[in-house]
Structure 1
């Protein structure tokens, strides 16, 4: 990848390719899609905002339905698109209540957003569950499935929903290069949508927003599949090891299909985050609910596990971690850093 980046450095005095031609072609090859189905943008939030604007364009009082908590910033995308918001809280068992989403949807529902695997809990929905939801929703409702972390899902689970677009042209799949490709510092992502919906989203995406280096790095990652797969396998192995250790300490973290783990701690969440911060580890805090811990380098993961072990010894972890707080309808929790620090350590990927 460094070779590809070096090769474009002489061109950084010029505007980047507004059509991202090489990147679009690489994405199309990777997914077996047509280039016309690909819309690129500077990260998942920019793309989600473009989709929201497209969804709200033809309806004066359009609404969005999403699970809570989920991707930080989706509510901002909705506000930019002037959509009213309906949040569906996760259950105490971390389940994503798609039946409830189907029951709530109406002709006013312009967009349903699902992060799968979900952020911050890491819980996975399978293809059949999403297909069932698609049949429940009005065909005019756009369904955006954010699969930023899908590469980390257990191979035995079927989560690829692009094949459903043949019968459900209202389905859009979102991907980002931040996680599996390790390019969080060079924001780039894309959505896969069928025309004319793809063309409509294009209208709301600003040109020149993916810089030359980001285009080169993302293209190189897709063209070097073996390196990409090696990175993914390594993260999965470390994630599973961390999950086992946390379970041994008494934490009730759900099975994750991402590059992070959710640790439900209830009222002890802040104290745990402070303990991590004092050890040089930043985690994403969800007040009164838990923390999200990303898989980092092995030595960083070991520090985190030592903190978790000591914290479990000092407290009755089983007594504080059985309840997520997600069964209550309230304001969606936003991930928070401590003392103004961005929670980016231990492989944390903020916002993308």
Structure 2
């Protein structure tokens, strides 16, 4: 019997995926640029070149790529500990914050456990939860495109193991205030891990969101999740980290895929921390552009919630969304559409941002009531 006959034989049993895997929706990344005239604003990555210190560190470490990296990421964890005022025992690293989040879900959730998060929020949340066999509990955003913490607290059951708070929220850009999270933490059980996902924290104006480290010091069930992919410009190297109670952080390190964070990524992350002043100057420029774009769009008539990320969010029903996406595509501007919800536009260089503003101004009269 040939191979093709064997594969199509009615009595041939083939390996099958787990039900949880077969039913997973794929994670949809931002579309990539295919030409010089394309404005790639679909992924919330930095539009600056790598920090010079990070690029130099990668070049210097390139000759060691035949060796395995330090799986414990000792140097990076110690540098982060100094940067944050914690101990290395409280830090776990992984391939981007999404990699660390997978370690969190894997480390804390058994089949049937609940993970609560706002929706719409980061698209990987339900995927990682379902992959672990746990149950995603989506709580709709409030009218201001932010987290409805009262509804999230009311959704807690005996099965709840983890709650995810994304601030500023991706894709809406709305932060959660310190006072609101503080009250929320008093309302939920201390045996539930509350993850404060701060992938965009560097872009947030001071005081707009929580002092997560202060909350962590007050509440041992808080876990802080951050990344080097956004403001530090290391999206292509994949390195993120969590700050958690030592026992939790140790568990996250145990669930990590061995050698998942490359030596190049670790060296680049350390160098990036040492170049914090230059990173902050770049962030300030993004904030300035974000404010300029938001102000002009409001003058045009678009109704926006104030964003604290490196992106803007336009709420749109499917008809408006299709109109906008078609217009952006024809103009060579790549944005991120969320079916039934809206469109997210990454803030980039002024020239690209001006293209966005011109396009949206042209569509204001025909698409807004």
TM range (shorter): 0.7 to 0.9
- Which of 166, 170, 175 pairs up with 1:124? 175
Q: Does 1:295 align with 2:361?
A: no
Superposition deviation, residue 229 in structure 1: 0.6
Q: What is the match of residue 35 of structure 2?
A: none
The number of residues matched between the two structures is 315
Distance 2:271 2:230 in 1: 15
Distance 2:271 2:102 in 1: 26
Superposition deviation, residue 150 in structure 1: 1.1
Provide the aligned C-alpha RMSD in A.
1.3
Q: Does 1:306 align with 2:358?
A: yes
Contact 1:15/1:208 (<8 A) preserved? yes
Superposition deviation, residue 14 in structure 1: 1.2
Q: What is the match of residue 103 of structure 2?
A: 50
Greater relative contact order: 1 or 2 (C-alpha under 8 angstroms, separation 6 or more)? 2
- Which of 20, 26, 30 pairs up with 2:79? 26
Larger Rg: 1 or 2?
A: 2
Residues 293-339 of structure 1 deviation map (CA, whole Å, 9 limit, x = unaligned): 001111111111111111113x142x2xxxxxxxxxxxxxxxxxxxx
Distance 1:95 1:210 in 2: 32
Contact 1:268/1:288 (<8 A) preserved? no
Superposition deviation, residue 139 in structure 1: 1.2
Contact 1:284/1:293 (<8 A) preserved? yes
Superposition deviation, residue 167 in structure 1: 3.0
Q: Does 1:284 align with 2:344?
A: no
Distance 2:126 2:242 in 1: 19
Contact 2:61/2:267 (<8 A) preserved? yes
Structure 2 SS opposite 1:196: helix
Contact 2:320/2:367 (<8 A) preserved? no
Distance 1:139 1:85 in 2: 20
Q: Calculate the TM-score normalised by the size of structure 1.
A: 0.87
Residues 79-107 of structure 1 deviation map (CA, whole Å, 9 limit, x = unaligned): 12211121101123323110111111122
- Which of 190, 211, 218 pairs up with 2:241? 190
Structure 2 SS opposite 1:203: helix
Residues 119-171 of structure 1 deviation map (CA, whole Å, 9 limit, x = unaligned): 10000111111111111111111111100111111113352212222332111
Q: What is the match of residue 9 of structure 2?
A: none
Structure 1 SS opposite 2:163: strand
Structure 1 SS opposite 2:293: helix
Stretches of structure 1 lacking an aligned partner (at least 5 in a row) = 320-352
Stretches of structure 2 lacking an aligned partner (at least 5 in a row) = 1-52
Q: What is the match of residue 261 of structure 2?
A: 210
Residues 263-322 of structure 1 deviation map (CA, whole Å, 9 limit, x = unaligned): 112230121012112111111001232100001111111111111111113x142x2xxx
